[in-house]
Chain A
Amino acid sequence: MTILAARDLVLGYGRRPVVHGVTLELTEGGTGLIGESGSGKTTLARAFLGLLKPLGGQVVYAGRDLRQADRRAFRRDVQPVFQGESLDPRMRIGASVAEALPRGARDRVGALLEQVGLDPELAARRPHELSGGQRQRVVIARALAVEPRLLVLDEPTSALDVTVQARILDLLAGLAADRLLITHNLAVVERLCRTSHVLFAGRVVESGETADLLRAPAHPYTKALRDAVPTLGGPPPEPGRSAPAAESGCPFRLRCPLAVPACEELPEPRVLAGRPRPRTVACHRAEDLLGGATAP
């Protein structure tokens, strides 16, 4: 059984919804939520952590609505990993990690620091005496203290240098806990998540196996995201069109190079037929895009 799922989840601040009826399941091998600023990915992550009450629909934890679930078990199973700057600047590293450990197991600080590749002697230091990468490892150690089944990671490496980022990604990929990763960095998702969901303006527009999704996107937004990422030795990134999300119909239609009058109707997510890997997409033009259609 999946540990967490969203069913017709509507989320927002005040009464204004920013996530509109999202349904998805977290699957083994890592799940990625991809999207740009304002896509609703962090809002969705907050709901998965039980930090935001849904305006509609539900978060399902171990088969039950999260509101009726055993919160202690939930806190043990699902742990957030924030950016390294979230550590208390006044606390020594050892005390910070010990605080996250259950009473009676506080002697495990050294072992936990070693598990994330840190010298146990760093326990005596304070956060400002560590590098950014070391601080990120401490935050991961804190999350691992209760032996969670799932880590929820919101842009865990975006503030780090590339060589440091590579080592943190290796660490995360080697952990027993599964991952829900929120990011705009496609390369990071590819490394850590077997399955990905692409969000645009608070809706999931495409879901599938990460590698398959990025190789052959079926939604024009997924393609735009992929083509905007510069690659080593590749051509300059493709800017695409700039426009706000549409208030009605397909939210991407004002930016979409393939938009047709039918796109004034909101496309429902549907499973694409004839794909080697399962793929769900909410686009009227998915088959045309996969068939090689380009802007007129």
Chain B
Amino acid sequence: MAVFVIRRLIGMVLVLIAVSFITYLIFVKIPGGDPAQRIAGKLATAQNIEDIRKKLGLDQPFYIQYFDMMKAIFERRLVSYQSQLNVVGQIEAGMPATFSLCIGAGIIWLTFGILVGTISAVTAGRLSDRLITVLALIGISMPVFWLGIVGRYLLAEGNPFHIFPDSGYVPITQSPVQWLYHLLLPWFVLAVLFIGFYGRVLRSTVLDTINEDYVRTARAKGISPRRVLLRHVLRNSLIPIVTLFGLDFAAVLGGGAILTETVFQLQGVGQYAAQSITTLDLPPIMAVTIYATFFIVFFNFLVDLLYAWLDPRIRPT
């Protein structure tokens, strides 16, 4: 087990290096990506650009530039070319909003996804199953930005059925109640797609599992139907859901909730990433890339550990 963990940790570091390096390479090679030219502006002379290049160390060979930037990120002194603000500081400033949004939404989509998928499978073919199927497909098909805007239009302050405040983020340290109140709508908007998707996946795995021989054995043992469902059917059906959740949750934490953050004006990491990309601001792009890659790699690692715990057959011995 220890060997497995160490091997995976080394692998994580390698993936981080590879992803950041490739991102850097792509950025430097794209047309219009040269930071010196962008900073100098339209009326800059060749001398101006050369000075900026020298000042930022962009006259160095490519791999040294990469190394310098990585060093600056980990020493927390990398600043944006545009705003001159500290990049790591900016990401940290965005993390509470992003984490609040993603953790809340994650809990909601996992809970409701499992609930909806199980109900759908247990009542397969009946009205509730068909209803859930239709709703799930609608949920999967609705784009988040549309759902968010419609949600705001209908349910937020100053609108027909006003229940929620109209966007914004209140730190939990400032007022837990306001924090919750402001996040409820974004949570559900972000979660809807995943609820529908997880519900569909779980429905089919539960239906497969119900027909397994060991479920028949469990029923023949005379244990309660509830216990058969929880201990024998769901326990085995949830294994694929774990993989999905690990990847999806890491992706939204790593900036995948851009649309929700933008619609609800939550100043999170996703929004920061979106701004940096539109202005082709290299330092924040690199920092956000590493931040996002870290979560994806890390959650993948957690999924593998969880898998071994859930399924004794794949435990490394």
Is the pairing of A and B real?
no
